[in-house]
Amino acid sequence: MFSWLKNRWHRTGLTAYITHKDCLGHNMGVGHPECPERLIAIRDQLMASQLFDSLQEVEAPQVTMQQLTRVHPPRYVEYLEACAPHVGTFRIDPDTAMSPGTLAAAQRAAGAVVKAVELVCEDKAPNAFCAIRPPGHHAESAKSMGFCFFNNIAVGVAHALSVYKYERVAVIDFDVHHGNGTEEIFKDDPRVMMVSTFQHPFFPYSGDTPAGSNPNLHNVPLKAGSGSRDFREVVETVWLPLLHDFQPQMLFISAGFDAHREDDMGSMGLTEADFEWVTRHLVQVADLYCQGRLVSVLEGGYDLSALGRSAAAHIRVLSDL
């Protein structure tokens, strides 16, 4: 069906694996699902699968104010800086709290995506995976929510648009939750296409209405209990034709693995085989239109075993192994 995917860009070099120890310092409390062990689970699975030595590990830099304020107003960044506690926690909302290590983690998380863009766009890596936390796709331009503070992927997209002057960039989001923040930030920017699936009705209870003036925002809500067949049908009949028409110059993936059937955060039925399958299709799109330029950014995924296996399956495809 998708014969147009056969022509592939020849990718050389090692996939960049971008992370930082500061991302382990963010802690929202005992028992909180968005925990430091998430990153440890991914690394452990990569090592157990003998994938880690095939990656180019890169230390995430701190994001700069200039990079942040392309998508977040300065007053919002200053608000988070002012809220950062020296001890204890500062609660942004019932689900989202700052600890003494949160600000540094968030700065590294956003900086990781900027670094990924630079590596990929300057041919220093064929593609990249950002193993970071806190996640970002719920963070709106001036609002923290859903475990998110800075919208990491939006910061990276804005960097690609501003520095590398791309005219068409695509964001693909397969997290179990709608990426409301990414949508809010780019809703009026025709240079950005966003395609997504997510469980609905479900937090953040958005994504099922027209997204304003940008015809490039395409949300496909899925009901609880949807599984592999439902997801793959959306990818084949909605996402891929749209991406083919748009012909993006760079791809970004909001890689949330919480739609896995073992993840209690949601009620979806995907498996690591589905994440591997969709990644393979997205890599082919990147090879066809973007000279392979693809940056994947960790979002959700809270069952540690399922997260590790899913991320490893995803990274295996990125690495062409």
**Average pLDDT, integer, range 128-146:** 98
Express as a percent the part of the chain with pLDDT over 90. 94
Q: Are 161 and 169 in contact (CB under 8 A)?
A: yes
Residue 285 to residue 172: CA distance in whole angstroms? 12
- Torsion angle, CA of 78/111/291/316, rounded to 10 degrees? -130
> Would you say residue 184 has pLDDT above 70?
yes
Question: Whole-prediction pTM value?
Answer: 0.96
Asked whether residue 289 carries a pLDDT value surpassing 70, the answer given is: yes
Q: What does CATH list as the number for 12-318? A: 3.40.800.20
Is the pLDDT at 5 greater than 80? The verdict is no
Q: Which sign does the torsion angle of CA 260, 272, 126, 43 carry?
A: positive
Mean pLDDT value across residues 78-92? 97
Buried b / exposed e along 260-288 (16+ C-beta atoms within 10 A): bbbbebbebbbbbebbbbbbbbbbbbbbb
* Confidence category of residue 226, pLDDT binned at 50, 70, 90: very high
Among the residue ranges 153-162, 173-182, 204-213, 278-287, the one predicted with the least confidence is 204-213
Spatial separation of the C-alpha atoms in residues 195 and 179, rounded to whole Å? 10
Q: Is 244 a catalytic residue?
A: no
Pairwise CA distance, residues 43 & 45, whole Å:
5
pLDDT band at 314 (very low <50, low <70, confident <90, very high): very high
Average pLDDT of the segment spanning 244-249: 98
Coil vs helix vs strand at 264: coil
Going from N- to C-terminal start, the domains of the chain cover: 12-318
Report pLDDT digits (tens) over 45-63: 999 999 999 999 999 999 9
DSSP annotation of 191 reads: T
Mean pLDDT, residues 83-95 taken together: 96
Using the predicted structure, report yes or no on whether residue 80 has a pLDDT greater than 60. Answer: yes
DSSP letters, 222-255, are E-TT-BHHHHHHHIIIIIHHHHHHH--SEEEEEE
Task: Answer left, alpha or beta for residue 199, where phi above 0 means left and psi between -120 and 50 means alpha.
Answer: beta
> What is the predicted pLDDT for the residue at 1?
40
Residues 6+ apart with CB under 8 A from 210: none
The fraction of the chain above a pLDDT of 70, given in percent, is: 96
Give the model's pLDDT for residue 10: 66
pLDDT value of residue 292: 98
Residue of 20, 72, 138, 178 with catalytic role: 138
pLDDT of 213:
77
